Structure 1
Amino acid sequence: MPLAPPTAPPPSARRDGVLAFAALGSGLVVLGAATGTTPAVLALSVLLGLAVLGAVVRSTVRRRTEPYGPADRVTVARSVLVALCAALLPAGLVPVLATPADGPAGAWCWAVVALALPAWVLDGIDGRVARRTGTATRAGARFDQEVDAALLLVLSLAVAARLGLPGSWWVLLIGALRYLFLLGLRVRPAWRRPLPFSSFRRVVAGIQGGVLLGALVPLIPLPLAVTATAAALALLLVSFGRDVLRLERSARGLS
């Protein structure tokens, strides 16, 4: 028997939101002590972490039409890791932008990988939890996609820094394509139509996080990291192009 849609945020969502902010706060304290950055950079790190996690918690607390389930709890945990990754960005990007020839410190790259790797691995768990507990919802799927998109954006920024800015600006397309597509919806509302399941789309999406994580590992030679990242971007462009073409054909009534 389906559950009745809640009319107010469930206590579990509010509790998990509080715990998520507490975990982020603890992580920011450790980050500030470990990096020893300037107050300005640390303030920027705090703002980025709070912005990412705040958007995530807001989306769960404001949910009214579909229940908040155990899979969402896993996604909230992932979002804390993504927020900490975002908070690490200024510590690595500011020195790179100041002296691009030096590149980010290896310790910074390892720190981002250490936080992003479990966030990427957990992406395969929340959906499984939703299916096994019978709590899969469209809102939960969208929630998961937005956390995925935030992780890819953070990783693409980190990888672009390691490969060398401003020359490696193209890496940012991996993280930006999702948001560019959302902007395209404002111009072309017909793209809002649901797309059929595609194993190609799913595999390509999974590849992006793995390749970006690998490209960020200091042990991987830069030429190999550049080649793998470029190949991943090419696959992503093909996947997005296929979906946009399919949506356009559907909007025009073509088979």
Structure 2
Amino acid sequence: MPLDHSTASVPSARRDGLLAFAGLGAGLVALGAASQAPAAVLAVSALLGLAGLGAVVRSTLRRRTEPYGPADRVTVARSVLVALCAALLPVGLTPVLAGQAQGPAGAWCWAVVALALPAWLLDGIDGRVARRTGTATRAGARFDQEVDAALLLVLSLAVAARLGLPGAWWVLLIGALRYLFLLGLRARPAWRRPLPYSPYRRVVAGIQGGVLLGALVPLIPLPLAAGATAAALALLLVSFGRDVLWLERSARGLS
């Protein structure tokens, strides 16, 4: 049953947004103190983190038909962790792209894992909170999905760097498929139809984050990390392929 919009949710979203920026700011200060990266790289890191979190907070403040609830608060907390992971990318990727190193430092990989792991584990918590408090909304579900997609994109970039760029470019498909699908919606409006529930899709989506996190752990040999990541990508391609096929069949049935 749809919830009535409550004006009380706007101050809550604003307060949580300010707290989120405070948490991100503290993380960026710690990154600057611990990193030996040039000031220009740290500036790009700060801008990347602030832009990502800014988009998240803006989306919560712009809601008009559905309220901001307790589950959204969990998702905002996750988004702070994802923004910090994004801020780490320039620090780890700059030496690799500049040819100064074959891969990112082990300490950098551990830092990304330390931030991304709780963001990944909390993925199931916000949905549970929404159901238990009776505050589940379509806007909240979309919010959660977009934070998940951003986390996968960041992790796929980090894993591609560890496996070796440009050769490991294919890892980026894990993070890019969601956004490529959204681009496909512009060319194929029939794909906008709601997809039926699929346990396969849900399991495969959960596997991606776990595999990418494992592939980032410095203790995991690179061949094993590459093999597991390739298997996860294959499962994801099958999942997207099944969904696109269903959407195309459904569109033909309606025409």
TM over 0.5: yes
Q: How does 1:70-219 map to 2 (within 5 A)?
A: 70-99=70-99, 102-219=102-219
How far does residue 7 in structure 1 lie from its aligned partner after superposition?
Answer: 6.2
Provide closer, same or farther for how the CA distance between residues 222 and 238 of structure 1 changes in structure 2, counting only shifts above 3 A. Answer: same
Counterpart CA distance in 2 for 1:25 and 1:91 is 17
- Cα distance in 1 between the residues matched to 2:70 and 2:191: 31
Query: For residues 22-51 of structure 1, what are the alpha-carbon distances to aligned partners after superposition, in whole Å with 9 as ceiling and x for unaligned?
Result: 110110000011112111100100111011
Q: Is the 8 A contact 1:185 1:192 kept in 2?
A: yes
Residues 101 and 164 in structure 1, CA contact (< 8 A), matched pair in contact too: no
Q: Corresponding residue for 2:26?
A: 26
> Any conservation in 2 of the 1:6–1:65 contact (CA below 8 Å)?
no
Runs of 4+ in structure 1 deviating by more than 3 angstroms, as ranges, are 6-9
Q: Which amino acid aligns with 1:245?
A: L
Closer, same or farther in 2 for the Cα pair 1:6/1:161, shift >3 Å? Answer: same
Please give the secondary structure, in 2, of the residue aligned with 1:253.
Answer: helix
Q: Which residue of 1 aligns with 2:227?
A: 227
Matched to 1:251, the amino acid is: A
**1:124 Cα shift?**
1.0
1:62 equivalent to 2:48? Answer no
Structure 2 unaligned segments of length 5 or more: list them: none
How far the C-alpha of 1:9 sits from its partner, in A, is: 5.8
Q: Pairwise CA RMSD of aligned residues?
A: 1.3
Residue deviations 1:86-130 (CA, integer Å, cap 9, x gap) = 000000000011126521100000000000000000001110111
**Structure 1 segments unaligned to the other structure (5+ residues):** none
Q: Which amino acid aligns with 1:31?
A: L
Q: How many residues align?
A: 254
The alignment's TM-score, normalised by the length of structure 1, stands at 0.97
What SS does the aligned partner of 2:214 have?
Answer: helix
